[in-house]
Structure 1
Amino acid sequence: MAKAKLEAGMTFGGFVLKQLLHTGGMAQLWQVTPEHSSEVLLMKVPVLAEGEDPATIVGFEMEQMIMPRLKGPHVPRFIANGDFAVQPFIVMEKIDGESLLPKLTSLPLPVQEVVEIGRKVAVALDALHHQRVVHLDIKPSNIMMRSTGEAVLVDFGLSRHLDLPDLVAEEFRLPYGTAPYMAPEQILGQRHDFRSDFFALGALLYFFATGERPFGDPPRLKGLKRRLWWDPPPPRMLNRDIPLWLQEVILRCLEVNASRRYPNAQQLLFDLNNPSEVKLTKRAHKERPDGFFVRLKRKSEPFESLIDHPKDASEGLAQAPIIAVAIDLATMSPELSEQVRQTVMRIVERSKEVRVACLNVLRLKRLALDSTLDEEGNNKHISRIVQLKDWARPLEVPQAQVSFHVLEATDPAEAILEYARENTVDHIVMGARDNSTMRKLLGSVSARVASEAPCTVTVVRDRKDQDASGG
């Protein structure tokens, strides 16, 4: 199980902790070396303290799934993963450069430096998108510069790989991202559009060129949605040194409707490399924000009508049935557990493209405060993920087609139903509670799910219970 406190000199997973480099809200970064080598590497370890946001765990799982699939100079070279059952971590190369974060102390930057940053990030995004990944958290601290000049994109905890389960979207309803850089469609829950990264890059270039964030740093969803109808001051209004062509590029990246942004990173890069070829529109000549009545008209329109739903970015998404398996780890007998597993295996055999989502509900108390740790000091959320993975291992479902979710709720049946509704589940499989007095008094979770679910439900009974009841 994950260690409560890490210290220099510790060894696990074949790596020696040398120096703590950074502690953030969701993870620590350690300089490490392999046990039998002097190579300097970087280890990322999630922060798993009492009361920690479950998004920390989900984001780290997402990053563990994505990073081994990434290649090239624009992402850190992946070395190893650590299992949640022992100690979760990601080991990667240590980039011999620094992030763009220190640039914030000297804004606005010279125009040519802003353009050069834009070029390098566009090249990195092009490489990432060709690997079918939308980053969804482009910001200064997540862009590093190698000593050889290439931009390196880091931190894939909020990213979307079009060939992998999207754990963030499946488990959380609120949008996740960094407020100053989030694209409108991302705020509305759309996480599969490559052009969301161009919006974030546009916000970053605006910030670096003017010293002002185009949309501020709103702390609430209401403030985030304001950017769907309230346009920022044109960059040249804040800095007259910005050329017309660069204002055209920045404002095109910041278009609310993704169909009006650059269709791909190659075209964005072309404009940044060829200023004289940039076609100037009214965006380039804009001198002030839109007037009150123009903004009011936009605000009166449904937000969703402003968002383009692209075919190009979603064609690769797997169109496959989703099977949710609700597993009660606390009370399910070994016999019933195996019967549920056999039922799922029969369903999987009928569809090679099936997605299996293994669910467990961590039941919360209605009145008292809940601890995130069990009696032995282990994180409950992680313990149950480990148990779910152990349960699913005999299914032999490819990693890209199975995911694990611990739902925290006071009402288990409602949690399962909400998951099924929000994720368009096609089939729910679950075990029935045994014939106990508790079942008669409290009712059956499976009975409620079966009666209210928007999809097919298979309730598996323990054969011993069936024999005892004569059924």
Structure 2
Amino acid sequence: MKLLDPGTEIDGFIVHECIHSGGMAHIYRVGYANSARDPGFPMAMKIPRMTVRDGAENIVSFEVELTILPALSGPHVPHFVAAGDLLRLPYLVMEYVQGQTLQHWLDQHPARDLGARSAEAIARIGAALAMAAHSIHEQNCCHLDLKPANVLLRPDGSALLLDFGLSCHAHYPDLLAEELRKAVGSPAWIAPEQVVGVRGDLRSDIFAIGVMLYEMATGELPFGAPSTDGGLRQRLWMTPQPPRAHRADLPEWLQEIILRCLEPVAAERYPSAAHLAFDLANPEQVQLTERGRRTQGPGLRKHFKRWLKAAGMHYQPSPLPHDQIELSPILMVAVPHDDVSDVTLYSLREAVARSLGIRPGARLACVTVISPSAASNSDSERSETALRRLHLARLKQWAQPLPLTGHSVSYHVLEAGDVAQALLRYAEGNRVGLMILGAATHGLQLQRFIDTVPIRVARDAPCTVILVKQQLPFDALGAGGHGADEGHRGQGGQAVPEPG
């Protein structure tokens, strides 16, 4: 199909200039012929290429996007506006978002531009990208074609995902899996499980984000851009050169994050994009392993063992994205430090232990909030640092008896005058899935008139909240070792008992 001329009218839309001409579609800037229908934002029209030389995947991927895009919402995807008749003229009209793609950012900042490609800048972009991916994962959608050209960076620092033609949504048939019998994706960024035909695992998107982080950090692609099936299959067993072998100035924490994203086995990557975003936003809390300290890749012996393992590997169907997130939430506990009894601290610890026990992939964030006056009363920067270290030490001491094997854990001291608002901001900013805090000691009747911190948090939190009542240890032992939770409250406001 030839390019449309500016001024062409299609179903009430006036076509303006062509803003992108790709291998699978043309994209035009459009507007309504009737200005009264103006939606309040600029629009773009996407029309798939359908010449005799174009493959069947063009129209199949268009059908996929036509199905999935209207089902997605939130600030990380463009608003869907309208769609054309597949039998007459297929098209999609969506919001046209201002910004530059990550590919443009890479082109503007070559690998030698170490200032623009600093670890902090890479982590900031990576965290925004991970948050965008987590947003669609929560809606049971996997993008499966994340690459720099499909990531739009807004001026405010957030990211928006483009082109859902190769995506998979748990609520709709996977047309690409049904109609195409080969690996579908962009060769440089496709995950190992996608190579062998497994689709719908959110950790495939985490692998693609790892490839982009690697490229931002080093200017190189970790697996090149293979054009053969054999080249694609190498990532089932091959470990790329450590980023620090390309750039010695990269910190170990960034290499740890990148190489964890690029693990061949999905279960060895981050369990959710929220976990990845959390590490990128809190580099001082990244738990370093041998991955972060490497300066050269594994030897031939280790690669040979991985090759043998990959040759006999059978990929299992993955959990639905939303279910995977539920199994691996970021669990936040608010630990008070002022006017708090040992009974309260004990009860909180018991509640956290139970929650970790039934959520094997959970990551724990221990948070305490101190007032600005406490910090400002310090007579020097040194004493202020000592105060924060004191509270961090108390958090670690409180968490020491917890069964943390297999769980990542981090400790955070927040400074704020409004404790409830600080906890809510932290939960929203870090995509916390479950928050645990102590219930107010006021009577229930009195709480109807006093807007306590627990009541405010439970009312406004973006996640499930567990309010824990005080429970003496000997009372818990007498009840068979179970503490007494007041219950937890989800976003809908319904209180239900915590399982376990």
TM range (shorter): 0.5 to 0.7
Residue of 76, 82, 101 corresponding to 1:80: 82
Q: Does 1:50 align with 2:52?
A: yes
Q: Does 1:168 align with 2:170?
A: no
Residue of 201, 219, 224 corresponding to 1:211: 219
Tell me the alpha carbon deviations over residues 349-392 of structure 1, each in whole angstroms, 9 at most, x when there is no partner: xxxxxxxxxxxxxxxxxxxxxxxxxxxxxxxxxxxxxxxxxxxx
**Aligned partners of 1:313 and 1:97: how far apart in 2?**
28
Partner of 2:427: none
Q: Does 1:227 align with 2:229?
A: no
Q: CA deviation at 1:240?
A: 1.2
Partner of 1:257: 265
Aligned AA (1:31): R
Q: Structure 2 unaligned segments of length 5 or more: list them.
A: 112-116, 325-500
Partner of 1:36: 34
TM-score after normalising by structure 2: 0.61
Tell me the alpha carbon deviations over residues 37-61 of structure 1, each in whole angstroms, 9 at most, x when there is no partner: 2653111110111221000000000
Tell me the alpha carbon deviations over residues 427-446 of structure 1, each in whole angstroms, 9 at most, x when there is no partner: xxxxxxxxxxxxxxxxxxxx
**Aligned partners of 1:310 and 1:168: how far apart in 2?**
17
Q: CA deviation at 1:303?
A: 3.6
**In structure 2, do the counterparts of structure 1 residues 314 and 169 end up closer, same or farther at CA, with 3 Å as the change threshold?**
farther
Aligned AA (1:214): P
**Aligned partners of 2:78 and 2:23: how far apart in 1?**
21
Residue of 186, 199, 210 corresponding to 1:191: 199
Where 1:222 maps in the other structure, the secondary structure is helix
Partner of 1:157: 165
Report if the CA contact (8 A) 2:170-2:320 is conserved.
Answer: no
**Aligned partners of 1:206 and 1:306: how far apart in 2?**
27
Q: CA deviation at 1:300?
A: 2.1
**Aligned partners of 1:36 and 1:22: how far apart in 2?**
25
Tell me the alpha carbon deviations over residues 131-171 of structure 1, each in whole angstroms, 9 at most, x when there is no partner: 11000011100000223332000000000001101000001
Partner of 1:7: 5
**Aligned partners of 1:250 and 1:48: how far apart in 2?**
38
Aligned AA (1:92): M
**In structure 2, do the counterparts of structure 1 residues 296 and 59 end up closer, same or farther at CA, with 3 Å as the change threshold?**
same
Q: Does 1:64 align with 2:66?
A: yes
Q: Does 1:280 align with 2:280?
A: no
Aligned AA (2:86): F
Partner of 2:445: none
Where 1:180 maps in the other structure, the secondary structure is coil
Q: CA deviation at 1:311?
A: 3.4
Taking only aligned residues, the RMSD between alpha carbons, in angstroms, comes to 1.7
Where 2:188 maps in the other structure, the secondary structure is helix
Q: CA deviation at 1:262?
A: 0.6
Q: Structure 1 unaligned segments of length 5 or more: list them.
A: 317-471
Partner of 2:210: 202
Q: How many residues in Structure 1 have an aligned counterpart in Structure 2?
A: 314
**Aligned partners of 1:124 and 1:309: how far apart in 2?**
24
Where 2:100 maps in the other structure, the secondary structure is strand
Report if the CA contact (8 A) 1:134-1:159 is conserved.
Answer: yes
* Superposed counterparts of 1:285-324, under 5 Å: 285-303=293-311, 305=313, 307=315, 309-311=317-319, 313=321
**Aligned partners of 2:103 and 2:316: how far apart in 1?**
31
Aligned AA (2:13): F
Report if the CA contact (8 A) 2:125-2:157 is conserved.
Answer: no
Residue of 137, 140, 155 corresponding to 2:148: 140
Residue of 107, 119, 123 corresponding to 1:111: 119
**In structure 2, do the counterparts of structure 1 residues 145 and 302 end up closer, same or farther at CA, with 3 Å as the change threshold?**
closer
Tell me the alpha carbon deviations over residues 236-256 of structure 1, each in whole angstroms, 9 at most, x when there is no partner: 111112111111100000001
Report if the CA contact (8 A) 2:134-2:272 is conserved.
Answer: yes
Where 1:20 maps in the other structure, the secondary structure is strand
Report if the CA contact (8 A) 1:258-1:308 is conserved.
Answer: no
Tell me the alpha carbon deviations over residues 27-80 of structure 1, each in whole angstroms, 9 at most, x when there is no partner: 001000011126531111101112210000000000000010110110001100
**Aligned partners of 1:230 and 1:15: how far apart in 2?**
49
**Aligned partners of 1:285 and 1:308: how far apart in 2?**
31
Partner of 2:134: 126
Report if the CA contact (8 A) 1:207-1:213 is conserved.
Answer: yes
Report if the CA contact (8 A) 1:42-1:94 is conserved.
Answer: yes
Indicate the structure whose relative CO is greater, using CA pairs within 8 Å and at least 6 residues apart: 1
Aligned AA (1:9): G
TM-score after normalising by structure 1: 0.64
Where 1:33 maps in the other structure, the secondary structure is strand
Q: CA deviation at 1:104?
A: 2.5
Aligned AA (2:29): Q
Residue of 98, 101, 116 corresponding to 1:99: 101
Q: CA deviation at 1:313?
A: 4.1
**Aligned partners of 2:159 and 2:181: how far apart in 1?**
32
**Aligned partners of 2:73 and 2:320: how far apart in 1?**
22
Where 1:182 maps in the other structure, the secondary structure is coil
**In structure 2, do the counterparts of structure 1 residues 150 and 126 end up closer, same or farther at CA, with 3 Å as the change threshold?**
same
**Aligned partners of 1:53 and 1:310: how far apart in 2?**
29
Where 1:21 maps in the other structure, the secondary structure is strand
Aligned AA (2:87): A
Where 1:186 maps in the other structure, the secondary structure is helix
**Aligned partners of 1:218 and 1:112: how far apart in 2?**
30
Report if the CA contact (8 A) 1:184-1:307 is conserved.
Answer: no
Report if the CA contact (8 A) 2:236-2:310 is conserved.
Answer: no
Q: CA deviation at 1:107?
A: 3.1
**Aligned partners of 2:99 and 2:322: how far apart in 1?**
34
**Aligned partners of 2:314 and 2:110: how far apart in 1?**
32
Tell me the alpha carbon deviations over residues 220-251 of structure 1, each in whole angstroms, 9 at most, x when there is no partner: 11100011122110011111121111111000
Q: Does 1:247 align with 2:255?
A: yes
Aligned AA (1:241): D
Identity of aligned residues (%): 41
